Amino acid sequence: MHNSTHDYSSLRILSQSQNGYIGQCCCCDHYNFVFGNVLFIFSEDGLNGFHSVLYDEHQLHTMKTALPHGRNHLLPSPISNFMLSFNDEEVEEIKGLFQETLLALEIDQIFSRKK
């Protein structure tokens, strides 16, 4: 898991909130999405795909009755018997992180075309 040639300190923060952030690795151009104690590492396509999942009611399941700890949104993972759970506020916070990140990347593309 640990890569000795990877520079883990070279991260450009694109968006951050109280519980997490999204950053772009300057070493490999992958994106780190950290929320609470969860870390996802995405390619650009993966970042866009996860953003789409957040708005897909067939993938992000909303339960009528919340779990005992108050979370009412479930996101299945490719690992069987493993799901992420979020409450309404967390889902909105995550959506905000992704919207800010995609906006920052779009601004980057606009300025790179002007050169």
Digit-coded pLDDT (tens) for 58-68? 999 999 999 99
Residue at token pair 């909130």: 17
Q: What is the pTM of this model?
A: 0.87
| Dihedral pair phi/psi, residue 16, rounded to 5° | -145, 155
Digit-coded pLDDT (tens) for 48-100? 999 999 999 999 999 999 999 999 999 998 899 999 999 999 999 999 999 99
Domain assignments of the chain as residue spans, ordered by start? 11-113
CA 96-54-95 angle, 5° bins: 5
